[in-house]
Amino acid sequence: MNIDTLLNALFGSQHQVQRNGDFLAGDASLDGQTLRVIGTTEHAPIGVELALAQAREVLDVVRNHPGQTILLLIDTQGQRLRHRDELLAINRYMAHLGCCIELARRQGHAVIGLIYDQALSGGFITSGLMADACYALPEAEIRVMRLPAMARITKIDEARLTELSQSNPVFAPGVDNYVAMGAVRSLWTGDLQAQLRQALLDARSDNASHDRRAADGAARGGRKLSAQVSAQVRHAGTAA
């Protein structure tokens, strides 16, 4: 969905979200509550500058607006694939963004992610996947790699991958797979403002230090082993 259409559907005229290149930031209001919107648009590649700009916004919210909710709007083609970014240690810039979001959650800010267009690999790990809860629009795309490229690299026949992907959500692109695996809480359809309102209510009951995604993945049948294996390692040899 187009970013302007999305902002209008979520907030009507009640927002001052500004675009600066691919970068989005600004306040928005819902039912009298102010939220900080931070994100990217136009399938932005996340390079060192964009990681840093988002981190700055998050730190400013933590510093200046205790408790304010952060809404991450996600549309990214993933990390920028350039020599310069690697030379400057882009992994450190992106990890910094992830750590800033983690700090915000720990300091009591509800952090909600919404994938409104596409979310690819590294660009998603340090944004939506660090939120309390991440949602997606049904037409959004989440992936690490498309099946043809995956077939080439893994040397497994593409037709076979396509067939297997019907029953196993573990490798094929798609928002439904990420819902089944617990990484996306739910898909937003219909009245998006009502969906956001509900997400804000749900965020209040989320425990910031408890990552429920593996349990959700097991309950939904899309990721059967994560929670179980983690628990086995955690409790091995203890009475629990």
DSSP single-letter state for residue 10: H
**Which tokens in the block code for residue 118?**
């596409």
The nearer residue to another protein, 156 or 187, going by C-beta atoms, is 156
Q: Report the alpha-carbon distance of residue 130 to residue 134 in Å, rounded.
A: 9
**Smallest separation (angstroms) from another protein to the CB of 8:** 30
The answer to whether 185 and 198 have CB atoms below 8 angstroms apart is no
**Smallest separation (angstroms) from another protein to the CB of 24:** 19
The nearer residue to another protein, 10 or 100, going by C-beta atoms, is 100
The nearer residue to another protein, 95 or 200, going by C-beta atoms, is 95
The nearer residue to another protein, 9 or 187, going by C-beta atoms, is 187
The dihedral built from the CA positions of residue 83, 84, 89 and 95, taken in this order, carries a sign that is: negative
DSSP class per residue in 57-96: HHHHHHHHSTT-EEEEEEEEEEE---HHHHHTTHHHHHHH
117 contact partners, CB below 8 Å, separation of at least 6? 1, 41, 43, 74, 75, 137, 140, 141
The nearer residue to another protein, 194 or 229, going by C-beta atoms, is 229
**Which tokens in the block code for residue 41?**
């648009």
**Smallest separation (angstroms) from another protein to the CB of 137:** 18
**Smallest separation (angstroms) from another protein to the CB of 176:** 11
**Smallest separation (angstroms) from another protein to the CB of 81:** 4
